[in-house]
A and B are shown apart, each in its own frame.
Chain A
Amino acid sequence: MLSFLFFYLAGVTVISSLLVISLRNIVYSVLALLVAFIHIAGLYLLLNAEFIAAIQIVVYAGAILIFYLFGVMFFSTNLKAKVIHHQYPIAIIIGLFILGEFIVAIYSSTFSMNRGEYTVQKIAEAGNTETIGMLLYGVYLLPVEIASLILLVAMIGAIFLAKRELKT
């Protein structure tokens, strides 16, 4: 049952991601992206990561996608340009070659046995969200703080680049 669910979710994610980049109409692309995001949230649920699944839906499917739609509103939706670049046969060959290399590399290596202290039981006892919270504001305190600086810089940049210049 679990593996069936996995293949369903993963398959739909891959197909809808392909649709995102190949559909000509941007609105359809954005909707395909929505489908991909929701199925990725499903994959997180399979991994017992409820919090990330919720974040995935709220942040990606909710906020970011709305911004894409806003973006689409400002552009003309019937693009004259070709969606697929004429070099795509070369790109596909190189892409498949690299994918093959990755698959070979992954299958000929062993993943880490280093499982860390957070076992499934431990997380289930303490609660998924609580564990993430403790980790983010404990072990990963510094990266979280630096990430907040990134948001500050991005905010300054967005305001600066987008605002109309005042006449002096």
Chain B
Amino acid sequence: MPSVTLTAILPEIILTALACIFLVAEPFVPKEKKEWMGYFSIGALICSGLSLFTLWGRNITTFSGMITLDNYAIFFKGLFLVVSMLAILISVRYIKIEEINFGEYYGLILFATVGMMFMSSAADLLTIYISLELMSFSFYILTAFMKRDMRSREAGIKYFLTGAFTSGLILYGIAFLYGLTGATDLGSISAYLSQHNLNSSPMLFVAIVLLVAGFGFKIAVVPFHMWAPDVYEGAPTTVTAFLSAGSKIAAFSAMLRIFMVGLGSSYDSWWQLLWLLSVLTMTLGNITALVQTNFKRLMAYSSIAHAGYILLGFIVASRIGMAAVLIYSVAYAVMTLGAFTMVILLCRQNSRGDQISDFKGLARTHPAVAGSFVIFALSLVGIPPTAGFIGKLFLFNAAIQGSFYWLAIIGILNSTVSLYYYFKVVMVMYVQEPQDVAPLSFSPTLTVALCVMSFMTLFLGLYPEPLIRAAVQSVQFFL
């Protein structure tokens, strides 16, 4: 029996145990008091976060090398906990309006979070795959959660089918890597590849292509992005927000570990592939976003474009590049959740609020809400003083330091293109006359979440030093 250090998965154990208690307690909560479940799940996330906080600086590899707890993992786990907390805060009122006020909703969010947390610390392809599935299964169900809504069901089926196909690709890639190296843990794969001089072997290239395609679906890079707009549009908006922030960053965290630790020595056989994907993704994502009239689809293409930016950090493959990925993930999570909160506010009894025309005159009727959207839009474009600016600064700086000048230029050009479509929405808010005077769907929890997200977007832009220090400390075990 191999030795096991349970401390390494303590936050996940706490969250899983509380989620199970939660699901047992759920039937006893009266129907009109289901928001208690939301508050309870926030409590569960906080408990897990507190235990995580005490582990900072530790470096434990346990469960026979299946899992590693290092600062990198803790950084991402903390981010996932914050993301799901914000997702729950913005959900409490929304799921009542959409009549999907069931306890399972929060339970599935908690299980998805457990999956993401395992993904960021998984050090073996097997654990990576299985925790990816845990996260994905929760999301398939959450996507189809409005089961009386045709679009939500369609989105659920689409996401499930592409997801199942994706799992096949990832498994195929893992099988090739195993065939080549006889190992599934990232450390041994890397060691075997260097020892036997296999870094340019054709089979390795096939494995890399399959893994990139598989993870490419999860992070929605071109040409594996087709599912994203449909799923983002059809899913309940809170789930869309959680999906685009949480699931994408979780896939990035696992992918970064695979490519830096497992395949770090075979850098020459994958950087060109990622370079191509990154450029395609940035360009196509931004250009397609220009013509969207549905805000959720616009955000889907915007999140595709952001995946392209984040890939820059992979291609540079330096410590600065990795730190930039971490910093950008935080900025991306906060600003994307913030932008989706607008749709949640606009979702009222009589309208879904996901068309750009629904934003008409919002500045006149709700100046504070419009103001916070301007902050998120500035951040999404990457204009100071916002978190998005710091993220982009680090990414492009890393690209220039790694002498990827073209990549940096294409990235900056794309950011200027994105200015147009984010500010098209801002224009609609500020210039046009208000149409719909129905009150916005405010709730105390949503107000708290909106304040936190606006504050964080500005704060990380004005005083990014703690975040940068944490990101740099998180990647010092690598390379």
| Chain A residues in the interface with B (C-beta under 8 A) | 101-102, 104-106, 108-116, 138-143, 146-147, 149-150, 152-154, 156-157, 160-161, 165, 168
In angstroms, Cα B149 to Cα A165, docked, is: 14
| Chain B residues in the interface with A (C-beta under 8 A) | 1-2, 4, 9, 16, 20, 23, 31, 63-64, 66-67, 102, 104, 107-108, 111, 114-115, 118, 124, 126-127, 130-131, 133-134, 137-138, 140-141, 144-145, 147-148, 178-183, 192, 196, 198, 201-206
Q: Is the CB of A112 within 8 A of B131?
A: no
28 A-B pairs within 8 Å (CB atoms) are namely: A105-B203, A105-B205, A105-B206, A108-B203, A109-B204, A112-B179, A113-B182, A113-B196, A114-B182, A114-B192, A138-B1, A139-B66, A140-B66, A141-B64, A141-B66, A142-B67, A143-B130, A146-B115, A146-B118, A147-B130, A149-B111, A149-B114, A152-B20, A153-B134, A153-B137, A157-B138, A161-B147, A168-B31
Q: Is the CB of B2 within 8 A of A138?
A: yes
Q: Is the CB of B182 within 8 A of A153?
A: no
In angstroms, Cα B62 to Cα A138, docked, is: 12
Q: Is the CB of A153 within 8 A of B201?
A: no
Q: Is the interface of A mostly helix, strand, loop or mixed?
A: helix
- Kindly identify which residue among A112, A114, A140, A154 contacts B137, using a CB–CB cutoff of 8 Å: A154
- Kindly identify which residue among A111, A115, A116, A153 contacts B179, using a CB–CB cutoff of 8 Å: A111
Residues of chain B within 8 A of A110, CB atoms compared: 201
Residues of chain B within 8 A of A142, CB atoms compared: 9, 63, 66-67, 127
- Kindly identify which residue among B102, B108, B148, B203 contacts A106, using a CB–CB cutoff of 8 Å: B203
Q: Is the CB of A114 within 8 A of B130?
A: no
Residues of chain B within 8 A of A111, CB atoms compared: 179-180
In angstroms, Cα B178 to Cα A106, docked, is: 13
Given the known interface contacts A105-B205, A168-B31, the answer about A156 and B182 at a Cβ–Cβ threshold of 8 Å is no
- Kindly identify which residue among B126, B183, B201, B202 contacts A143, using a CB–CB cutoff of 8 Å: B126
Residues of chain B within 8 A of A152, CB atoms compared: 20, 111
* Distance in Å: Cβ of B118 to nearest Cβ of chain A: 6
Given the known interface contacts A116-B182, A139-B64, the answer about A153 and B138 at a Cβ–Cβ threshold of 8 Å is yes
In angstroms, Cα B203 to Cα A67, docked, is: 37
